[in-house]
Amino acid sequence: MQIDPRDKRYQDIYRLMVGAVVPRPIAFVSTIDPNGRLNLAPFSYFTAGSSNPPCVVFSPQHRGPEKAAKDTLRNVCDTREFVVNIVSEEFVNQMNATAAEFPPQISEFEISGLTPVPSERVRPPRVKESHVQMECQLVNVITVSDKPGGGSLVIGEVILFHVDEAVLADPEHDIFKIDPDKLRAVGRMGGISYTRTLDRFEIARPKWPS
């Protein structure tokens, strides 16, 4: 079967993409607007982009050129700062509670019951319940399309990591290795489905010449 996206509804192409590009990690992004109002929202179009400097990329989807941008994108553009909080299984329901389209004056921290804690180098707060938090400064916003279903790539440089020692494999000897069994991160599948990261296998990377 071949599917040409040019003659299909973008809603159907979205369903196809989120069912095929799986599992997707979740960027739980906290921002603040110029008036000090807090925002917290999950994005599953998310990945790492670079290690030197460390950068992350997430993509808010657009509603169309005649509709307002999502609060997260608007706040990032206004303040050039945000925090990416990694989602673990123990607070996935609270994360999901923030996914609704709330008006800007409503704080998703209050809706979800999650706890904002001050960041060290950026104005948006971190999510206390998250075991890994990344304070970011905006590098660039690349708008792929502002049509409904289009998106912008938000690229941020991580200027400070916060890592809970409880999720490290060996905190006394290696502060860089996270134990996935302790982090218990979750990912998005298609529709309303999520996945746990507890079922894994290992394959050694080949070398040339072998």
pLDDT in tens, 126-135: 999 999 999 9
CA distance 32 to 81: 8
CA distance 106 to 108: 6
- Residue indicated by tokens 């180098």: 121
Residue 178, domain member (yes or no): yes
Residue 209, domain member (yes or no): no
Q: What is the pLDDT of residue 190?
A: 94
Distance of CA 148 to the CA centre of its chain: 20
Distance of CA 176 to the CA centre of its chain: 20
Residue 175, domain member (yes or no): yes
**C-alpha Rg value of the chain to the nearest Å:** 18
Q: Express each pLDDT in 169-205 by its tens digit.
A: 999 999 999 999 999 999 999 999 999 999 999 999 9
Across the strands, what pairs with 86? 27
Residue 203, domain member (yes or no): no
- CATH code for the domain of 82: 2.30.110.10
Residue 210, domain member (yes or no): no
Q: Express each pLDDT in 5-29 by its tens digit.
A: 999 999 999 999 999 999 999 999 9
Q: What is the pLDDT of residue 209?
A: 87
Counting residues of the chain whose pLDDT is more than 90, the rounded percentage is: 91
- Residue indicated by tokens 């509804």: 9
Residue 205, domain member (yes or no): no
Q: What is the pLDDT of residue 66?
A: 66
Q: Express each pLDDT in 136-166 by its tens digit.
A: 999 999 999 989 999 999 999 999 999 999 9
Residue 58, domain member (yes or no): yes
Residue 207, domain member (yes or no): no
Number of domains in the chain: 1
Per the structure, the complete domain to which residue 174 belongs is given by: 5-196
